[in-house]
Chains A and B, each alone.
Chain A
Amino acid sequence: MVTLTIDDKQVAVEKDTTIYDAAKKAGIHIPILCHDKKLKPFGACRMCLVEVEQMKGRLIPACTTPVTEGMIVRTSTPPVDKARKLVLELLLVHHPLDCPVCDKGGDCELQNLAYDYKVNSNRLTDEKFHHEIDYNNPLIERDQNRCILCGKCVRICDEIVSRGALTFINRGIKTKIGTEFDGPLSCEFCGSCISVCPVGALLARPFKFKSRFWAMTNKKSVCGYCGTGCSVTLGVKDNKVLTTIYDENQGFHNGQLCVRGRFGYQFISSDKRLKTPLIRKNGTLVETDWDEALATVAEKLKLSASKSAAIATPRMTNEELQLLKQLMLQHVGTKNIDHSAGYAHEAVTEGLAKSIGVAASTATIPDIQKSDMILVLKSDVYETHPVVGFEINMAVKNKNVSLHLISDKRGKLSRLPGANLLLCKPGSEVTLLNSMVNVIMEEKKAALDTIPPDFVTALSAFTPAKVATECGVTADEIRTLALSYAAADKAVILLTTGLAYPGADAQLAHAASNLAILCDKLGKEGSGIIALQEKNNSQGAIDVGFVPAQGGANCHNILDGCVDGSITSLFIAGENPIVSYPAGDRIKKSLEAVDFLVVADLFLTETAQLADVVLPVSSYAEKEGTFTATDRRIQKITPVIPPVGKSLPEFQLYSKLIKLLGGQPALTPADAFSTISAYSSISYSELGEGGVFVKSEFKPTLIVPKTSNVNIEKGKFSLLTGAALYHCGTMSLHGEGTVAVCSVGYVEISRSDAEALKIADGTDVKLTSSSGAITLKARVSPRMAAGVLFTPYHFAANSVNTIWSGSIVTGVTITK
């Protein structure tokens, strides 16, 4: 610890702290334009100049100067103020002073400082800049005339997002923030640059001119897209969510968001939201009131009793899932409940539950940065959970954590410095992991004392030499990876689950768990397995136990039962199976066949259009409850706006249904929360900002994973399904920002295949599988291996589930 004096205040701080951070700790504010908590010190703006007793004769930048013992710092003296005023005058020489039309007005750090330091005239004059404003993309507007060259956008894009889309170009007075070849901005549109820009040089176009910052109320919530569980601040005006607001002190991710979280909020206040219940009369859906709709639903469910079923989305809160479960199990009298198509939660409910003894991840997202080694199975983390991707990037770049990937395609992670990618053949991940386990056992590197002999025998066949060709990697690569995993002190294994990831099944989870169990990398800081789940409350749905009760039908059987008559009433809460589940035709037939279909959703989705009763429900911004993030962090949300139209938060909806069926529902979300047995150790009231982790007890067991037999006919391409960076499930298709940059489906094809088939980027190609054919835009991508195609699953038009029936890899032919 180092002790120093700042403005007559004694401060004791860590050795490597800067004067700026030390002052901040002491509650002394030093004005600054180029600093962000997450970024490395840069010293661009010179606003943070201070006087240091020991360094008399010049002013010292507080943000780049480390503290030394006995330092005496003065942050505001006449020479300091005079210097800062000059800095502001220099900045304002070229700044356009168009505050009335600049969207940053009111939230602008330069404006605030000019006001604080009373810079109302300028001793210096020069011509203003005449840079062309970049309106080339739908999300980020770049006006270089307003730029003060603090470099925060450049640094966040490099240090955290790892995209490097922006950089300083030219020199001296001509310096500006430029893009590659000074062309239009080509990036993933996460908007991090906008969030840190101190002036109006970078602006969010979806929010442009919508409101002034001071006219909005900032309300905290938890992002409703993926399972990462990022905290968000929503800007609300007139009961409408207008934007997301950056807060560097929020959450484990320090306010860092991805494109979906930052730009995909429009679905909340969308005009297309359902505002009244709908009921089918004479073949068409007509508006009705809640009484009629609920009475019909209650009556039909009661009538069907054990022949009813419910499929829920893990976007609902824990309390809502708990009530729906209570409704179906106790009051309707059925055991047929499930979520996420039944298979998307299998890696956790089957895989981890059996291997580790708890149906949850054993490590947390903050563990990633505390680890020594990260092993990512399927490199989709950057696309499915971008904020986790940022964490990995920071771990690799700042903490020297080694990164290893086993994946069927390259991605942003494999481009990180020192990333070791084992580009395997699609569907061979389990075999490869088994082989790693084999190496560890053969080389006697296992930390486990006794390994069951049948386990050793079962995996003895998986020697690297034997599986190398099958996996498409060399035996040496497998051996090296296995040994470095065994040798690492701490290691985290990440795998991605979700509707489009049938490969991330129980077997993959078993295989990954075996590695961790054998090498004793479970349950300690910086070690474990994280199953990154697709939806914001996927883990919650598992914890609540929204899975088939003993003897109940799972999702697959429920949908089959609709056709054969064993299910007569189906309650679909928030899911859109027609688009998001595999084998869309089969799903559609099931939903058309079922006698009575109720859909509770925000929008009139493809599934809702087939329903007999459609119940309008509320988005996450309108309700109270808890979400459990993928690393088992429970976070509380409170209503940000009142329910849109006559829509009801699902909590009230299920309460009413339970009452109609003669039951007694929990009165408040807090009451419902207390009935969730998995969370019995946590009280609702202690859930503050940042949430609470649920502690889990492990009971590791080595289980022999079954390898999948992927047989793709010769001459056919291996089609992989997955998620696009810009979307999460089908809900992001109602967020205008995300749709603006990615509105239609596409298929990624390797350069070599594209060349051989003479397919140019952007042309329409026809994919034909045994179950159908669709036409998609081709995207020639350097990340695909030859013979492998990738397509995201979110889109209703030319939906991939026409040709994909849920197998890990689908054999398709591709024609122009």
Chain B
Amino acid sequence: MPNPFTPIMQGMKITFGHMFKKPVTLMYPEERPKVAERYRGLHALKVSHNKAKCVACYLCPTVCPAKCITVEAGEDDNHNKFAAKYEIDMLRCIFCGYCVEACPVDALKMTGQFELANYRREDFVFTKESLLEKK
């Protein structure tokens, strides 16, 4: 029969060991986590020349497995295509990142923003204005 104290000692060793290590627990929200670069949080529409880069090609709503993206294209004064409406329903989004992969003009990215809680369902539908990349 093995020594009954051995497992306890081993456990205590880990416990005491942690007392001298940097703590894993974050004192959220006072302390902020460091989000990895490739983290898939809230989407952002990239901006270039003060305009969203999105050309409303409809590839992201097509590839989206959760069907949470709504795009409506418009024609601007120079007859160019732009997204007159760009909405993502975050309640349906599964953050798979296919939309970013599908984008042919690199107009979409996923940010590290993960705090998406809200009080009303309709507030989870992010419009184009709220999705525009914040510099």
Structural contact, B73 and A209, CB atoms closer than 8 A: yes
Cα distance A141–B57 in the bound complex, in angstroms:
18
Cβ of B56 under 8 Å from chain A: yes
Cα distance A208–B55 in the bound complex, in angstroms:
13
Could you say which of A99-107, A152-160, A735-743, A798-806 contacts chain B? Answer: A99-107
Structural contact, B58 and A215, CB atoms closer than 8 A: yes
Q: Which residue of A lies closest to B57 (CB)?
A: A100
Structural contact, B58 and A212, CB atoms closer than 8 A: yes
Kindly list chain A residues whose C-beta atoms are within 8 Å of the C-beta of B74: 209
* A179-223 interface bits toward B, Cβ cutoff 8 Å, 1 = contact, 0 = none: 000000000000000000000000000001111101100000000
A108 to chain B, nearest CB (A): 13
Structural contact, A101 and B59, CB atoms closer than 8 A: no
Most buried by A among B55, B62, B79, B80: B79
Kindly list chain A residues whose C-beta atoms are within 8 Å of the C-beta of B55: 100-101
Cβ of A133 under 8 Å from chain B: yes
Q: Which residues of chain B from 58 to 110 have a CB within 8 Å of any chain A CB?
A: 58-59, 61-62, 73-75, 79-81, 104-105
Cα distance A101–B75 in the bound complex, in angstroms:
10
A200 to chain B, nearest CB (A): 12
Kindly list chain B residues whose C-beta atoms are within 8 Å of the C-beta of A210: 73
Structural contact, B79 and A105, CB atoms closer than 8 A: no
B82 to chain A, nearest CB (A): 9
Cα distance A211–B71 in the bound complex, in angstroms:
9
Q: Which residue of A lies closest to B73 (CB)?
A: A209
Assuming the contacts A133-B79, A209-B73, asked whether A105 and B57 have C-beta atoms less than 8 A apart, the reply is yes
Q: Which residue of A lies closest to B56 (CB)?
A: A209
Structural contact, A208 and B75, CB atoms closer than 8 A: yes
Structural contact, A101 and B57, CB atoms closer than 8 A: yes
Kindly list chain B residues whose C-beta atoms are within 8 Å of the C-beta of A252: none
Cβ of A135 under 8 Å from chain B: yes
Kindly list chain B residues whose C-beta atoms are within 8 Å of the C-beta of A209: 56, 73-75, 81
Kindly list chain A residues whose C-beta atoms are within 8 Å of the C-beta of B104: 99-100
Q: Which residue of A lies closest to B107 (CB)?
A: A100
B73 to chain A, nearest CB (A): 4
Structural contact, A212 and B105, CB atoms closer than 8 A: no
Structural contact, A214 and B62, CB atoms closer than 8 A: yes
Structural contact, A100 and B105, CB atoms closer than 8 A: yes
Structural contact, B62 and A215, CB atoms closer than 8 A: yes
Cα distance A133–B80 in the bound complex, in angstroms:
12
Most buried by B among A208, A209, A215: A209
Cα distance A175–B37 in the bound complex, in angstroms:
50
Give the contact-size bracket for chain A.
10 to 19
Cα distance A133–B81 in the bound complex, in angstroms:
14
Structural contact, A101 and B62, CB atoms closer than 8 A: no
Q: Which residues of chain A from 105 to 155 have a CB within 8 Å of any chain B CB?
A: 105, 133, 135, 141
Q: Which residues of chain A from 588 to 647 have a CB within 8 Å of any chain B CB?
A: none
Most buried by B among A211, A212, A214: A212
Kindly list chain A residues whose C-beta atoms are within 8 Å of the C-beta of B81: 101, 209
* B98-129 interface bits toward A, Cβ cutoff 8 Å, 1 = contact, 0 = none: 00000011000000000000000000000000
* A232-267 interface bits toward B, Cβ cutoff 8 Å, 1 = contact, 0 = none: 000000000000000000000000000000000000
B72 to chain A, nearest CB (A): 9
A598 to chain B, nearest CB (A): 39
Kindly list chain A residues whose C-beta atoms are within 8 Å of the C-beta of B57: 99-101, 105
Cα distance A210–B72 in the bound complex, in angstroms:
7
B77 to chain A, nearest CB (A): 11
Cα distance A99–B56 in the bound complex, in angstroms:
11
Cα distance A141–B81 in the bound complex, in angstroms:
14
Most buried by B among A100, A141, A214: A100
Kindly list chain B residues whose C-beta atoms are within 8 Å of the C-beta of A101: 55-57, 80-81
Kindly list chain B residues whose C-beta atoms are within 8 Å of the C-beta of A105: 57
Cα distance A434–B10 in the bound complex, in angstroms:
120
Partner of A100 from the list B59, B75, B79 (CB cut-off 8 Å) is B59
Partner of A212 from the list B62, B75, B79 (CB cut-off 8 Å) is B62
Kindly list chain B residues whose C-beta atoms are within 8 Å of the C-beta of A99: 57, 104
Cα distance A409–B58 in the bound complex, in angstroms:
50
Q: Which residue of B lies closest to A209 (CB)?
A: B73
* A653-683 interface bits toward B, Cβ cutoff 8 Å, 1 = contact, 0 = none: 0000000000000000000000000000000
Cα distance A208–B73 in the bound complex, in angstroms:
9
Q: Which residue of B lies closest to A213 (CB)?
A: B58
Q: Which residues of chain B from 35 to 64 have a CB within 8 Å of any chain A CB?
A: 55-59, 61-62
A467 to chain B, nearest CB (A): 58
Q: Which residue of B lies closest to A210 (CB)?
A: B73
Cα distance A211–B58 in the bound complex, in angstroms:
8
Cα distance A660–B58 in the bound complex, in angstroms:
50
Q: Which residue of B lies closest to A205 (CB)?
A: B75
Kindly list chain A residues whose C-beta atoms are within 8 Å of the C-beta of B105: 100
Q: Which residue of A lies closest to B58 (CB)?
A: A212
Q: Which residue of A lies closest to B105 (CB)?
A: A100
Cα distance A215–B104 in the bound complex, in angstroms:
18
Q: Which residue of A lies closest to B84 (CB)?
A: A209
Cα distance A212–B61 in the bound complex, in angstroms:
11
Kindly list chain B residues whose C-beta atoms are within 8 Å of the C-beta of A141: 79
Kindly list chain A residues whose C-beta atoms are within 8 Å of the C-beta of B79: 133, 135, 141
B69 to chain A, nearest CB (A): 12
Cα distance A510–B9 in the bound complex, in angstroms:
116
Cα distance A278–B61 in the bound complex, in angstroms:
40
Q: Which residue of A lies closest to B74 (CB)?
A: A209
Q: Which residue of B lies closest to A141 (CB)?
A: B79
Kindly list chain B residues whose C-beta atoms are within 8 Å of the C-beta of A214: 62
B52 to chain A, nearest CB (A): 14
B51 to chain A, nearest CB (A): 14
Cα distance A105–B58 in the bound complex, in angstroms:
10
A98 to chain B, nearest CB (A): 9
Kindly list chain A residues whose C-beta atoms are within 8 Å of the C-beta of B62: 212, 214-215
A93 to chain B, nearest CB (A): 20
Kindly list chain B residues whose C-beta atoms are within 8 Å of the C-beta of A135: 79
Cα distance A57–B58 in the bound complex, in angstroms:
46
Cα distance A210–B74 in the bound complex, in angstroms:
8
Q: Which residue of B lies closest to A208 (CB)?
A: B75
Most buried by A among B56, B58, B104: B58
Cα distance A145–B55 in the bound complex, in angstroms:
19
Cα distance A215–B61 in the bound complex, in angstroms:
10
A694 to chain B, nearest CB (A): 45
Cα distance A100–B79 in the bound complex, in angstroms:
14
Q: Which residue of A lies closest to B103 (CB)?
A: A100
B63 to chain A, nearest CB (A): 11
A-B contact pairs, 25 of them (CB 8 A): A99-B57, A100-B57, A100-B59, A100-B104, A100-B105, A101-B55, A101-B56, A101-B57, A101-B81, A105-B57, A133-B79, A141-B79, A208-B75, A209-B56, A209-B73, A209-B74, A209-B75, A209-B81, A210-B73, A211-B58, A212-B58, A214-B62, A215-B58, A215-B61, A215-B62
Measured CB to CB, the residues of A under 8 A from B are 99-101, 105, 133, 135, 141, 208-212, 214-215
Extra 18 A-B pairs, beta carbons < 8 Å, given A101-B55, A135-B79: A99-B57, A100-B55, A100-B104, A100-B105, A101-B80, A101-B81, A105-B57, A133-B79, A141-B79, A209-B56, A209-B74, A209-B81, A210-B73, A212-B58, A212-B62, A215-B58, A215-B61, A215-B62
The 6 closest A-B pairs by CB, nearest first: A100-B57, A209-B73, A101-B81, A212-B58, A100-B104, A101-B55
